[in-house]
Amino acid sequence: MKTIKEALKSIKNAISESISSEKADYIGPESVGYERMEEPSDLETAKNKQTKLDLDSLALGATSQGEPKSPSPEREASTSNRSIITEVRNRIKVAKLKLYRPAGMNIVNLNLSNLNLSSRDIEYVLSIVSKEIPDITDLDLSKNHLGHLPASINDLTKLIRLNLSDNQLTTLPASIKDLTQLIHLNLADNQLRTLPATIGWLTNLRSLTLTSNHLATLPAETGSLENLISLVLSNNQLTILPSTIGRLANLRLLDLDGNKLTNLPMILRNFASRETRITLRNNPLSLESVSWFNIHLPNCKAVKYKKTKSDLTNLAIAPRSPREQKSPSPEAEANTSNRNSAKQKM
């Protein structure tokens, strides 16, 4: 019995010695000068998670199939120029503060000029305006280098005045026909080559300014603008006018300066009995056209016209005074005839 106990004790001692020998042979991090790595604290773990979330928020994300998600219009606009959108919202706030109500009518004037809006920005800007100021009446988008006007402009159906001057527009959307409340439309200093036929839907229009574009013709529907008072077409490339312009019974100013008209269009006879000012400076007019003018427009007069072809570029036409409209006496006609005969003999 004693022998068995002694045998077990010796076995136990041998095992203990073996374990001690293995510990002595082990080389751990501490034995070569390394410090034990501490577990990250809860605060550090939270910071790491937040950093990952921030990085993920900068990406557009991916669908379950691995395809990128389409960014929202707001993200597109803000990533391209967030400062512009901020400025737009600030100007909207100012416009709301300056709301004017004459005779129960809301007049909201929003100035968005000189913002250098891109084609992508203008889409989003118009969506902001239509939501924030659905009853806007006066919108200034001049001097923005706009290359196109979005079809969504038709959401602003309460517009009375629209200024799109000093941009780079080459055409207008057909949807402009929905702005039936428009009274003043300024499209000066763009690159327009044509106008949409739907321009004729703007029957409340009183002023249409198209100075300094590239217009060679006008649509026949221009004659449908029955309330038009001022039509400014100076500095274009017009060689002919549509006959329908003669329907503009309320027209008081027709500015045709700086075009390529060689002959006065017959349709101008329709303005013979009206107090309409017609300007034709800097056109290659012929002497025959001036003679035609004297015959068919007796209520108008030539301004700065000296009977030489070189001076025809300075021709302008304005209403004659009542005194000038009186028929000359027989004696005056005889004197005029004698002077003409003398000149022919010379």
Characterise 282 by phi-psi region: left (phi > 0), alpha (psi -120 to 50), beta (else).
left
Between the CA of residue 161 and those of 203, 298, 318, what are the distances in Å? 14, 36, 28
Model pTM score: 0.66
Placement of tokens 């056109």 in the chain: 283
pLDDT of residue 337: 54
Q: Are strands 161-163 and 184-186 parallel, antiparallel or unpaired?
A: parallel
The per-residue pLDDT for 154 is 94
Give me the tens of pLDDT residue by residue for the chain, a chain 346 residues long: 556 667 667 766 766 665 555 544 444 444 444 344 445 555 555 545 444 444 343 333 333 344 444 445 444 444 457 788 888 888 888 877 766 555 555 667 889 998 888 777 898 899 999 999 888 999 999 999 899 999 999 999 999 999 999 999 999 999 999 999 999 999 999 999 999 999 999 999 999 999 999 999 999 999 999 999 999 999 999 999 998 998 999 999 999 999 998 887 777 778 876 778 888 888 888 877 777 776 666 555 544 444 444 444 555 555 555 554 444 444 444 555 555 555 455 5
Give the dihedral of Cα atoms 15, 21, 24, 25; nearest 10 deg: -120
User: Strand pairing partners for 207?
Assistant: 184, 230
Cα separation, 337 vs 346, whole angstroms: 15
CATH ID of 94-260, from 3.40.50.11540, 1.10.287.610, 3.40.50.150, 3.80.10.10: 3.80.10.10
Specify the 3-state DSSP secondary structure of 300. Answer: strand
Let me know how long the chain is. Answer: 346
| Predicted pLDDT of residue 340 | 55
CA separation for the pair 304, 314 (Å, rounded): 6
Selection from 120, 116, 119 nearest residue 71 by Cα? 120
